[in-house]
Amino acid sequence: MDPIPGINVSVPPSGPGCVECAQLEGWWYHLRRCAECGHIGCCDSSPGQHATLHQQQTGHPVIRSFEPGEDWFWNYADSSVFAGPELAPPAHHPNSQSVPGPADRVPPGWQELLH
């Protein structure tokens, strides 16, 4: 199989949660993984929308869900969902991690804070 632009199968994820939310002591709804560099950011429903911000800052065109049971990819360039190759493990955040998370930083009424 030819390499897909914007996907590096050998790069592991940056960690178990959104990089920016962790730095800001924020919280996220769902997580997305940059398929090029492994950066973990929060989804567009999350308050921070850090996965899309990462794409805007870097130009990295493809993300993959970092949620258990989800293996879809998203291409920002053409707004398409597609099946892609296996990436370096782990494929998702720990099963023990709450959604939304992290549990100790999710505010009451969090549903009303989603985009």
pLDDT computed for residue 95 by the predictor: 96
pLDDT computed for residue 103 by the predictor: 96
Report the alpha-carbon distance of residue 92 to residue 88 in Å, rounded.
11
Contacts of 114 (CB under 8 A, 6+ apart): 29, 45, 46, 47
DSSP 2: P
**Cis check: omega of the bond before 100, within 30 degrees of 0:** yes
Give all strands (DSSP E) within 13-71, no chain letters: 31-34, 40-42, 62-65
**Cis check: omega of the bond before 102, within 30 degrees of 0:** yes
The pair of three-digit structure tokens given for residue 15, joined into one six-digit string? 């960690």
The dihedrals phi and psi of 31, each to the nearest 5 degrees, come to -115, 150
Question: 37: part of which helix (H) or strand (E)?
Answer: none
Q: What is the pLDDT of residues 93-103, one digit of tens each?
A: 999 999 999 99
pLDDT computed for residue 2 by the predictor: 57
Which of 2-16, 23-37, 101-115 is least confident?
A: 2-16
Residue 34 clears pLDDT 60, i.e. is over it: yes
User: Whose structure tokens read 């360039």?
Assistant: 77
